[in-house]
Structure formats: structure tokens, C-alpha cells
Structure 1
């Protein structure tokens, strides 16, 4: 993803999650995805989708059962 897209996504997520210390980081050699971190912990992958001419972003986050204890 472009640096401009990453900045927009990061601003949107910070606003949505009330200023949580998060960052969106680009991935080398990937133009359609970025990683989401809270503090310095990886929490998910953001993928860009341009299906049927509409641009959207999808966040995939895995939650382990040990994290719920």
C-alpha cells in the first residue's frame, strides 16, 4: 500500500478505536496489504480489495484461545 493509504487507514483506526496506540505498517514487496500493530504487537492484516470497481479494506485478526484466559 502507498504511504498515503497507510496514513489514512492509521488515522481512521485511531479515531475508531479512540486513540489506541496502534500503527499500520507497510509490507515489503506487497502492494495490497499492510500489518496492524497495537503498541509493538502484531494483531492483524489489512488487505486492499477492488472487487467490482469499489475499493475496500479488510482487517483479519486472529484471537488465540490462550489470549481469552
Structure 2
């Protein structure tokens, strides 16, 4: 089995951004290409980094996974 790198192109980034803005009701959300990685993108809300979006193209089943870390001191601000 040959593994192909799961590259995210500009068209996918735009579609993912549109989907996430609608799903999370956040018009300030941006999906940006990562400087040295092509299989994932960074997610920002109003210029604040909030997580990473990974592309998973394994076994012919394409999916995207969003990972967001929530730090304990962030919870104190609420």
C-alpha cells in the first residue's frame, strides 16, 4: 500500500472555511494554510489561533478533523 500525502489546496481551504463559518455561526473564522505543512490548516477566530484542521484521506474515505485545545486558564476568563 502506498500512502499519499493528503494535501489541502486553496479550493478545499475555501470550502472548509465556508462550512465552518456556517456550522459554528462565526463569520470571523478563518482557515489558513500552514507554513510548512500541507496536510492540515490553522483555524483562527478574529486573528486568534483556535485549532488545527487535519485532512484524512486514508482508505479512500475522505474526512477532516478539527482539533482545539482548551487551556485551563481560558476557562477562568468565562
| Same fold by TM-score greater than 0.5 | yes
Which structure 1 residue ranges, 5 or more long, are not aligned? Answer: none
Structure 2 unpaired stretches of 5+: 1-7
Larger radius of gyration: 2
Partner residue in 2 for 1:4: 11
Query: How do residues 1-69 of structure 1 correspond to structure 2 at under 5 angstroms?
Result: 1-69=8-76
**Alignment size in residue pairs:** 69
TM-score (normalised: structure 2): 0.83
